[in-house]
Structure 1
Amino acid sequence: MLAGIELYFGGALLVLGAAFTLLAAVGVVRLPDLYTRMHAASKAGAVGGGLILLAVAVLSQDAAVSVRAIIGVMFVLLTTPVAAHLLARASYLTGYRPCNDTVIDDIAQRNE
């Protein structure tokens, strides 16, 4: 059985991770273009998923599960920003431009 502090800490991590994941989902729905949506999904989604995996590591009573969860956190935090960058760059190079509210377009300035 879990002691009190681990249970509360794991629960807090789980709720915080769910809040970040909800924030990412709201960002995907509400933001104006692909690039800002991808930013919300990759940043807040990665943090939310990482916090949920940390909650699994804290709440599980098995060392093997905890190690796998921590490796999962590292994998998510290392691969999500790289994948988002590559997808955004590929979208831009295929012709999808940012919304009209975008002030600075570094790629367009580089190609001039």
Structure 2
Amino acid sequence: MPDTYLRISVNTKAATLGVGLLLGGVAFYFYDLSTTSRTFVIVLFLFLTAPVGAHLIGRASYFIGNKLWDKSQMDDLKGKYQRNSHVLKSEIDDTPEDNIDHTKM
């Protein structure tokens, strides 16, 4: 894979699918309520946490300045990410770049 972001995506998908199918096979093989419920909870936990972890790693990677692949078509976050406050501006947000007061609630 050519850059960090694609490697994160591919590894997360492969690991989540692989472990999910493996645990599905375990639940099918043992076929009792205790094992099936435990494997279901583990798969649910994995499906909820793996993408979040990959997103956080990707966000940190973007923040420290890892470059995109040379053949990437576009950088969707370019000009929208405030490096001083770690806030991603939306399309309709008209807050000035140097104003970080809007992050305090």
Q: Normalising to structure 2: TM-score of the pair? A: 0.71
Shift of 1:107: 1.3
Letter in 1 for 2:11: A
Gaps of 5+ in 2: 82-96, 98-105
**Greater C-alpha radius of gyration:** 2
2:76 alignment partner in structure 1: 106
RMSD of equivalent CA atoms: 1.6
Letter in 1 for 2:70: N
Q: Normalising to structure 1: TM-score of the pair? A: 0.67
Shift of 1:100: 0.8
Report whether the alignment pairs 1:80 with 2:53: no
2:40 alignment partner in structure 1: 70
Gaps of 5+ in 1: 1-30
Letter in 2 for 1:73: V
Three-state SS of the structure 1 residue aligned to 2:80 is: helix
For residues 90 and 75 of structure 1, what CA distance do their matches in structure 2 show? 22
Identity among equivalent pairs (%): 38
Three-state SS of the structure 2 residue aligned to 1:104 is: coil
Three-state SS of the structure 2 residue aligned to 1:107 is: coil
For residues 60 and 32 of structure 2, what CA distance do their matches in structure 1 show? 42
Which aligned pairs between 1:51-70 and structure 2 lie closer than 5 A? 51-70=21-40
2:59 alignment partner in structure 1: 89
For residues 51 and 61 of structure 1, what CA distance do their matches in structure 2 show? 15
Three-state SS of the structure 2 residue aligned to 1:101 is: coil
Letter in 1 for 2:42: G
Moved over 6 A (4+): none
Letter in 2 for 1:54: G
Q: For residues 85-108 of structure 1, give each alpha carbon's deviation from its aligned partner in whole angstroms, at most 9, with x where no partner exists.
A: 110000110111211111111111
Q: For residues 20-59 of structure 1, give each alpha carbon's deviation from its aligned partner in whole angstroms, at most 9, with x where no partner exists.
A: xxxxxxxxxxx11111010001112211211111111111
For residues 42 and 56 of structure 1, what CA distance do their matches in structure 2 show? 21
Letter in 1 for 2:75: D
